[in-house]
Chain A
Amino acid sequence: MALLEVNNLKKYFPIKKGVFSRTLGQVRAVDGISFTLKRGETLGLVGESGCGKTTVGRSILRLIEPTAGQITFNNQNLLDLEREELRKVRASLQIIFQDPFSSLDPRMNVGQIIAEPIRNHLKISRKEIRERVAYLMERVGLHPEHISRYPHEFSGGQRQRIGIARALALNPLAIICDEPVSALDVSIQAQVINLLARLQEQMNLSYLFIAHDLSVVEHISDRVAVMYLGRIAELASDQELYQNPLHPYSRALLSAVPIPDPEIRRKKIVLQGDVPSPMDPPSGCSFHTRCPECKEICSQEEPILKDAGDGHWVSCHLW
């Protein structure tokens, strides 16, 4: 039984213009996405900017209201929940934001920031809250004596740790990591990723790990989903995807990952053109305009995500 099951999730943003806010069209940010996330598993979600990764993450938490679809978390359909029920569910489904500078309220000190979820959900005394905050700070590698400092007194990596402590405050089951390290220096990235991996091991957490950096995702994920223009192009286990990518888009993406060895030469697949506008996605397979292996059927018929064997799902007419 999956902890989180997303079924045909869609989010269209209307484009409004003029005095009477006529709807001129829609941006199909997420256009029919399905996946599952098991207890203790990490699912990587990769894709280039604007492909809808972040929208998927925020829609699951209903920070953005999805247009259509089903999201089942811990046997509850999140889209059916009333405001107050949703508030309670959010205690066990948390998020870590990309930007460690804008995700912490500059007018609150660390103690207040980390205590906020605890104060919202638990009726416990001030002293107990303080103890819990100190414990959480230690847990994420911060000094508990810095409890009354303000966010601007910390570095980017430390701020991200504060964000992680806040997400952990209520012992969640799953955390949506929305590009948690892409705003950090490479040296700090490794520290934060290792911290996330260790916490996962200790608390049996599930991560939906959104990123655009394939090497980061490879390190932490059990399975990886590749997104293109609001859809999943390929979904496979970590090793399978990196060693045997099936979708032409995944291949191009993987060939762009730098190898830290100057001796090895690899043929790079360079895609032609730009990503088409999600306002007006191409007919058939949305990748056909840039696909090096495009066939006639690709521009006519939309491929469905199908199992190409061993849980390697791909959405392409070639397979």
Chain B
Amino acid sequence: MTEQKEDDVCQPGELVTDNRFKRQWVKLKRNKAALAGGMLIIVYVLSAFFAPVIFPGNPSAPNLIKSLETPSVENLLGTDELGRSILGRIIYGSRISLLIAVGVVSVGMILGIPLGLVSGYYGGKIDFIIQRITDTMLAFPGFLLALALVAVLGVGLRNTVISIGISMVPLYIRLVRGCVLSVRAEDYVEAAKAVGTRDIAILIRHILPNVMVPITVQTSLSMGMAILFAAGLGFLGIGVQPPTPEWGAMLGSARSYLFNAPHVATFPGIAIFLAVLSFNLLGDGLRDALDPRFRI
């Protein structure tokens, strides 16, 4: 070992310390709208988890004697055309909607992130091909694309998730590619190449962690969009099939009773509205908290 001169050793005193995560959390907490969104999401998640505790019994079992009742102490939000508690169905419906949201972003991320990484990192021909396919998919409005895919794949929970998931893939590809293009030019990527890191390791070790912030934000926004799309498919009767309690399907079947029993359509509608709003508020808040420079 070599002897070091006094002035040559860096003193620990010059270290600048700040905690990124703490700063971001404080920033997120200060954003009241995002906080409200986050709390509502927690409420939805809890009601999904504890649905059988909050609402014992089968939410799909008809009870025709009590059909289309207005809200009362017994049924807080009234009953639908088959006499089933609307509150119960909304609570059980949050399971379906959250499941769809998580499933959809998983499909979107599993397909979209690798394609975006490869497209942005390698460029050239492979980039051109992936981008033209993405362009084609983006040319269709997202919901229309999901609708077309359902028409091909058929109805049901699994196909709903796959269809909406695939319609989200181009959004992820575009987002990830754009971020990779900026990260790829950083010196630390060159440095990794210079020390002999293989491409695949550069992508996973250096590039992916540095594009996670926009992906996180996009995921929150996509979950809201997924819930809305799923409700839209359910409303049209080509999403999750009855008697499964699904918000969109509930809205769809309540349509016929809009004039004599408006509450049947109103409450599932509010559930959808609040869920989508919460995810969007949280997404916006995350975007501001995680990186003030980043805007979609």
A166 on interface, CB distance cutoff 8 Å: yes
Measured between beta carbons, the chain B residues less than 8 angstroms from A194 are: 8
A158 on interface, CB distance cutoff 8 Å: yes
Selecting from B68-76, B78-86, B151-159, B184-192, the interface stretch reads: B184-192
**A166 in contact with B187 given A157-B10, A191-B7 (CB within 8 Å):** no
Measured between beta carbons, the chain B residues less than 8 angstroms from A99 are: 187
Measured between beta carbons, the chain A residues less than 8 angstroms from B53 are: none
Task: For the complex, give the distance between the alpha carbons of A63 and B194 in Å.
Answer: 7
A106 on interface, CB distance cutoff 8 Å: yes
Measured between beta carbons, the chain B residues less than 8 angstroms from A141 are: 4, 8-10
Would you give the shortest CB distance from A162 to chain B, in whole angstroms?
11
Within 8 A of A (CB), among B251-270: none
Please give me the residue from chain B that is nearest to A143 by CB atom: B12
> In the complex, which range does the number of interface residues on chain A fall in?
35 or more
Selecting from B14-22, B32-40, B55-63, the interface stretch reads: B14-22
Within 8 A of A (CB), among B1-50: 1-2, 4, 7-10, 12, 14-18, 20
Task: For the complex, give the distance between the alpha carbons of A107 and B16 in Å.
Answer: 16
B10 x A143 contact (CB < 8 A) = yes
A227 on interface, CB distance cutoff 8 Å: no
**A63 in contact with B15 given A143-B10, A202-B2 (CB within 8 Å):** no
Task: For the complex, give the distance between the alpha carbons of A95 and B7 in Å.
Answer: 25
Within 8 A of A (CB), among B151-190: 186-188, 190
Measured between beta carbons, the chain A residues less than 8 angstroms from B216 are: none
Measured between beta carbons, the chain B residues less than 8 angstroms from A169 are: 195
Please give me the residue from chain A that is nearest to B185 by CB atom: A102
Would you give the shortest CB distance from A67 to chain B, in whole angstroms?
18
Measured between beta carbons, the chain B residues less than 8 angstroms from A295 are: none
A153 x B188 contact (CB < 8 A) = no
Task: For the complex, give the distance between the alpha carbons of A97 and B191 in Å.
Answer: 8
Task: For the complex, give the distance between the alpha carbons of A91 and B197 in Å.
Answer: 10
Selecting from A73-81, A115-123, A228-236, the interface stretch reads: A115-123
Task: For the complex, give the distance between the alpha carbons of A158 and B12 in Å.
Answer: 10
Measured between beta carbons, the chain B residues less than 8 angstroms from A163 are: 191
Count of chain B residues with Cβ under 8 Å from any Cβ of A?
A: 31
B196 x A104 contact (CB < 8 A) = no
Within 8 A of B (CB), among A39-96: 58, 61, 63, 87-88, 90-91, 94-95
Task: For the complex, give the distance between the alpha carbons of A158 and B10 in Å.
Answer: 7
Please give me the residue from chain A that is nearest to B191 by CB atom: A103
Please give me the residue from chain A that is nearest to B8 by CB atom: A141
Measured between beta carbons, the chain A residues less than 8 angstroms from B14 are: 155, 158
Measured between beta carbons, the chain B residues less than 8 angstroms from A105 are: 188, 192, 205-206, 209-210
Please give me the residue from chain A that is nearest to B9 by CB atom: A141
Task: For the complex, give the distance between the alpha carbons of A106 and B196 in Å.
Answer: 19
B196 x A91 contact (CB < 8 A) = yes
A117 x B2 contact (CB < 8 A) = no
A139 on interface, CB distance cutoff 8 Å: yes
B197 x A116 contact (CB < 8 A) = yes
Please give me the residue from chain B that is nearest to A84 by CB atom: B198
A268 on interface, CB distance cutoff 8 Å: no
Most buried by B among A98, A166, A202: A166
Would you give the shortest CB distance from B284 to chain A, in whole angstroms?
24
Task: For the complex, give the distance between the alpha carbons of A195 and B195 in Å.
Answer: 21
B196 x A88 contact (CB < 8 A) = yes
Please give me the residue from chain B that is nearest to A91 by CB atom: B196
A138 x B10 contact (CB < 8 A) = no
**A120 in contact with B18 given A102-B186, A139-B2 (CB within 8 Å):** no
Select one of A88, A95, A142 contacting B191, CB under 8 A.
A95
**A120 in contact with B197 given A63-B190, A139-B2 (CB within 8 Å):** yes
B194 x A116 contact (CB < 8 A) = no
Measured between beta carbons, the chain B residues less than 8 angstroms from A319 are: none
Would you give the shortest CB distance from A28 to chain B, in whole angstroms?
22
Within 8 A of B (CB), among A128-165: 138-139, 141-143, 146, 149, 152-155, 157-158, 161, 163
Given contacts A95-B194, A102-B188, A163-B191, 5 further A-B contacts (CB under 8 A): A91-B196, A105-B205, A116-B195, A120-B196, A121-B196
The 7 closest A-B CB pairs, nearest first, are A117-B195, A103-B187, A102-B187, A107-B209, A105-B188, A120-B196, A87-B196
Chain A positions within 8 Å of B, measured between CB atoms, are: 58, 61, 63, 87-88, 90-91, 94-95, 97-99, 102-108, 116-117, 120-121, 138-139, 141-143, 146, 149, 152-155, 157-158, 161, 163, 166-167, 169-170, 191, 194-195, 198, 202
